[in-house]
Structure 1
Amino acid sequence: MSEADLHPLPAEEPLDEDLEELDEENRLKSSFIDKVRDALDAGDTGRVYDLVEPLHPADVADLFELLDGDERGLLASAITDLMTGDVIAELNDYVRDSMVEALPAATVAEIAEQLDTDDAVQLIEDLDTEDQQAILAEMEPEDRAAIESALSYPEETAGRLMQRELVAVPETMTVGDLIDYLREQDEMPTEFWEVFVVDPRHYPVGTCQLSWILRTPRHIALTDVMKRDQTLIPVTMDQEEVALRFQKYGLISAAVVDESGRLVGQLTVDDIVHIIQEEAGEDALLMSGAGDGDINEPIRDAYSARVRWLVANLLTASVSATIISLFGGTIEQLVVLAALAPVVASIGGNAGTQTMAVSVRALAMNQLTRSNTRRIIWREMRVALANGATIAALAGLAVAGIFSFSLGGLLAVQLGLVIAAAMLINIITAGLAGVAVPVALDRMDQDPAVASSVFVTMITDSMGFLVFLGLAVVSGLVG
């Protein structure tokens, strides 16, 4: 062994300043993006490639999102062989679609053929049927058949997400046979963590992790070392349910089976991470009524998604306005009621939002089911009662103290008791609504994340005004 082998020289620092692409916050520098733009404008594809080649796939995806729509197609054409599955997976949906639409079908087909099946499907699944067919016509027959098979399954199901590239071997093999097979095969998945063992009908009968294979003597039969219990994913299972199974059972990969139980693909945890992120972000945006909430979303789509919920809020707000108008005379007798009524409604709304968020998450995670609905409602009611008692006491004391000088001691105490009682009732109502509304929507096969906030807000606002102003009248606070 040479001295150089024992003491290798330090790697030379890159001399090209273009390699210093990221700022201190790990974002692409504006100066770097300008260099890419200048190279694209000049038609210097070699310069573009040299600039982009050192980037991490996630940074390449960010670069696409930071460029204008007409520049994305030029960039994709210049760096075709850098468009790996990792880049495609990181791309924003709208950016990916606009990029693909700007490219010739042959170029998209070339990119798709370099990807795993699931990433290739993700690349073209949202295109028009005509554009899909044009791209598929440019692909090799084997790749085309795999993508067409995936597109035949419903969107957001395991069949769309799964990778067809996997390692499946017969149960008659020994560990030595398997090791020799893995070494001799030229076409293997780029990454895999376990080998699927199948019977003659291609039904999965077990799995072997690579770590087990490496530590087991060659003569041992696979049937003696494989794990027979495995989580099988039906091709038609919704992606959200798939993610829950991976999370619940701590899976790294799982076999996907068709309607007859035959092994047709696999899902890996890296795909599931994206699903979890996507579903969590989608639920949060739906609860706010912001649609997809994407800054790359077309203005028309953003308007359509948001305006309908604003109209719904306008209609529900009219209910509260109607209740207030019924107590117009009461408010005129004691103007301070107009200042305090929104406080009661606001606190109730916040309490309802808290409970609703917990309930929607529990429904999404299968923690709230038909079997425990009553227990969860009772739990949230007790939480609401404790919260309501605390807030009611604080609000009552504060109101009585603040208005004791302007209204007089007795009237201020009475006002404090009224607002305390209204707070308690409205927070308890909010707790009940925060669970009942999402559960009811879920039982009607509606997404509870979409419409729950509208109904919960309407209930808490209306009850807040009605209870507070109604108690003011009933208690004799006003004539």
Structure 2
Amino acid sequence: MIEKEHFQTQEHGENEALYGVSQETIRALEDALENADEARVERLIEPLHAADVAIVIEYLSPNLRHQLIEHLRPHFDPDILYYLNETVCEEVVEQLGTQEIAEAITGLKSDEAVAVIEDLDEQQQKEILDSIPAGERLILEEVLNYPEDSAARLMQREVVCVPSTWIVKETIDYIPREKNIPEKFYDLFVVDSNRIPLGGVPLSFLLRQSPSTKITDIMSTDIKRIPALMDTEEVALLFRKYGLVSAPVVDGKGRVIGMITIDDVVDVIEEAAEEDIMHLARVNESDFFEPLLSTSYSRIGWLMITLLNTLMAVTVISQFQHTIEKMVALAVLMPISAAMSGNAGMQVVTVTVRAIANRELGGSNMKRAIWKETFVGLINGVVFGAMMGSIAAFWFSDPALGMVLGCALILNMIWAAVGGAILPIVIDRMGMDPAISAGPFLTTTTDLLGFATFLGLASLFLV
């Protein structure tokens, strides 16, 4: 057992070294910064990837963060901005100043530059854009004019497009000569004279062809053209469904205006998952790095809604005050129905929201999915109703009380299943995000019905 634990600890340390910065390095950096040891700070920072430097910056306290940014200022890596949390990035932008940030942004790919700028407040955006050379500024402003969650905001403007009249040799000769091409790319796209995409050629496939081969003879016409206004989560689904590595983005006239690659899509998937998790807990995605008062203020709204839900449940309970006074056992057992159905309902909500997000739930299978969840709720209700009813009957030596609790559980878990399936669908049809709204609606109803059914049945049959 000791050998196994040692191996697991060693393996964890090796894995951490592969994909992140170790806690030992962070602590060493903190010590070096506190002692103003510039040489040691440089030795520790120099081998780190920009993503790891961003993690270090986020880990540090505000004072040490300020010191590290000052140390990095003379040779600041622009890629660090792309990896920083939105709140921390705003602090860094404010510290470095408009001119230095503008110079840093010009060193980023167009999609990364847009990602950094769009997260800043309007005043910072304007100041930085005004400081960027006119040519690059026009490109960035054009992309920023598209909706926030559109494919155009995700794309990079640098894309390799070649005429349909070329042969392989012309294409291969063109790539090292052209300056305005992506630093990394996987496919090139064949276009006509109007930049309408006709097909695509993977770079690895191109290099294995005879120099005299026509580019149109080796291109694949089965390419997915992504409209500039397509939602980024739709783009992620498209990439996942068809196993894409890259795809051209087209404007309203079908002309190529950019390209989306798989690394951009990974970011979308991660952000969407993080956003859904945060929404389920009713907190902001940048909540961890927000100042104290901002964090408190952002959470108060949802806590107020929870308070209102609780007051509604208390109001329902108060209607049965005399019933509870006559039979104290009801006060002990009444949370069970609400708690069990609430958890069961959230399971259904989670599954349904995921199915909606992945386009797995549609008109053809919607009724089947709802009926399935209804019967699952019935089965689980019977199982747990029988279990808790038996426990209550034995505990309080009252079979009738057990029967009432069992029936209340069955009824409420059926509603939890039906509501958990229907509410996300209805909310999605209304154009709202079911990940945000479905949970509060469902837990409110399961709480109210849980108390009402249990105490109502008790009033009818026990008191």
TM-score, normalization: structure 2?
Answer: 0.90
Match of 2:341 among 337, 348, 354: 348
Letter in 1 for 2:399: V
Kept in 1, the 8 Å contact 2:29–2:41? The answer is no
Deviations 1:134-185 (A, max 9, x none): 3223323332222122111121221111111111101111122212222433
- 1:285 and 1:293 in contact (8 A); partners too: no
Q: Which moved more, 1:22-31 or 1:334-343?
A: 22-31
The answer to whether residue 302 in structure 2 is matched with residue 287 in structure 1 is no
2:118 is the counterpart of 1:91: no
Q: Distance in 1 between matches of 2:307 and 2:201?
A: 58
Q: Which amino acid aligns with 1:333?
A: K
Amino acid at match of 1:237: M
* CA RMSD after TM alignment: 2.4
- Please give the secondary structure, in 2, of the residue aligned with 1:295: helix
Cα distance in 1 between the residues matched to 2:126 and 2:286: 30
Q: Unmatched 5+ residue regions in structure 2?
A: 1-15
Q: Map of 1:379-418 to 2, 5 A cutoff?
A: 379-404=372-397, 412-418=398-404
Q: What code does the residue aligned with 1:379 have?
A: K
Q: Confirm or deny: 8 A CA contact 1:292 1:302 kept in the other structure.
A: no
Contact between 2:199 and 2:219, CA under 8 Å: does it hold in 1? yes
1:150 to 143, 147, 171: 143
The one of 425, 428, 435 equivalent to 1:442 is 428
Structure 1 residues 248 and 364, CA gap change in structure 2 (3 angstroms): same
Q: 8 Å contact 1:28–1:63 — kept in the other structure?
A: no
Q: How far apart in 2 are the matches of 1:382 and 1:255?
A: 45
SS state at 2:393 partner: helix
SS in 2 for 1:215: coil
The answer to whether the aligner puts 1:56 opposite 2:33 as a matched pair is: no
Q: CA deviation at 1:351?
A: 0.6
In the alignment, what sits opposite 1:4?
A: none
Counterparts in 2 of 1:36 and 1:167: CA distance versus 1, 3 Å: farther
Distance 2:430 2:24 in 1: 46
Q: Secondary structure at the match of 1:284?
A: helix
Aligned pair 1:455/2:448, yes or no? no
Secondary structure of 1:133's match? helix
Once the two structures are TM-superposed, the CA of residue 57 in structure 1 deviates from its matched residue by 2.4
Classify 1:105/1:36 alpha carbon distance in 2 versus 1 (closer, same or farther; 3 Å). Answer: farther
Match of 2:450 among 451, 454, 464: 464
Percentage of pairs with the same residue: 40
Q: 1:129: Cα distance to partner?
A: 3.5
Aligned-pair CA distance for 1:350: 0.7
Deviations 1:43-75 (A, max 9, x none): x5x764443121122211111102344554654
Distance 1:63 1:259 in 2: 43
Please list the CA deviations of residues 271-329 of structure 1 after superposition, one character each: whole Å capped at 9, or x if unmatched. Answer: 11111111111111111212336310233432333211111111122222122111111
Within 5 Å, give how 1:246-265 maps onto structure 2: 246-265=239-258
Give the CA deviation at 1:32: 2.1
Q: Spell out the pairing of 1:284-363 with structure 2 (5 A cutoff).
A: 284-292=277-285, 294-363=287-356
Contact 1:433/1:456, CA 8 A, preserved across alignment: yes
Give the aligned residue type for 1:447: D
Letter in 1 for 2:197: P
Alignment of 1:195-214 (within 5 A): 195-214=188-207
**Unpaired stretches in structure 1, ≥5 consecutive residues:** 1-19, 405-411
1-side partners of 2:261 and 2:425: how far apart? 32
TM-aligned CA deviation for residue 401 of structure 1? 1.9
Shift of 1:110: 1.5
Tell me the TM-score normalised to structure 1 length.
0.87
Deviation at 1:38, TM superposition (A): 4.0
TM superposition shift of 1:195: 0.5
Aligned equivalents of 1:213, 1:53: Cα separation in 2: 37
Change (3 A) 1:453 1:444: same
2:411 paired with 1:425 = yes
Q: How many residue pairs get matched?
A: 447
Label 1:323 to 1:293 Cα distance change in 2 as closer, same or farther (>3 A).
farther
Contact 1:97 1:123 in 2 (8 A): no
Q: What is the DSSP-based 3-state SS (H/G/I as helix, E as strand, rest coil) of the residue aligned with 1:267? A: strand
CA–CA separation in structure 2 for the residues paired with 1:109 and 1:434: 48
CA contact (8 A) 2:156 2:260 kept: yes
Q: Deviations over 1:191-239 (max 9, x none)?
A: 1000011110001111000121122222221111111111111112222
Distance 1:25 1:114, change over 3 A: closer
Given the alignment, which residue of 186, 202, 226 partners 1:233? 226
Q: Give the letter aligned to residue 99 of structure 1.
A: V
Q: State the alpha-carbon separation in 2 of the partners of residues 377 and 465 from structure 1.
A: 24
Name the structure 2 match of 1:473.
Answer: 459
Q: Which one-letter code corresponds to 1:467 in the other structure?
A: T
Structure of greater Rg: 1
Instruction: Pick which of 126-135 and 432-441 moved more.
Output: 126-135
Q: Do the aligned residues in 1 keep the contact of 2:33 with 2:67 (CA within 8 Å)?
A: no
Structure 1 residue 26 and structure 2 residue 26: aligned?
A: no
Q: 2 CA distance for matches of 1:128 and 1:237? A: 25
* Deviations 1:425-476 (CA, angstroms, capped at 9, x unpaired): 110010111112211211111111112221111111111111111111222x
Does structure 2 conserve the Cα–Cα contact (< 8 Å) formed by 1:23 and 1:29? no
Q: Deviations over 1:11-48 (max 9, x none)?
A: xxxxxxxxx99999833534322245247x57x5x764
Q: For the residues of structure 2 that align with 1:102 and 1:136, how far apart are their CA atoms?
A: 17
Deviates more, 1:313-322 or 1:350-359: 313-322
For residue 7 of structure 1, what is the aligned residue in structure 2?
none
Distance 2:158 2:267 in 1: 19
What is the letter of the counterpart of residue 92 of structure 2?
Answer: M
Deviates more, 1:127-136 or 1:92-101: 127-136
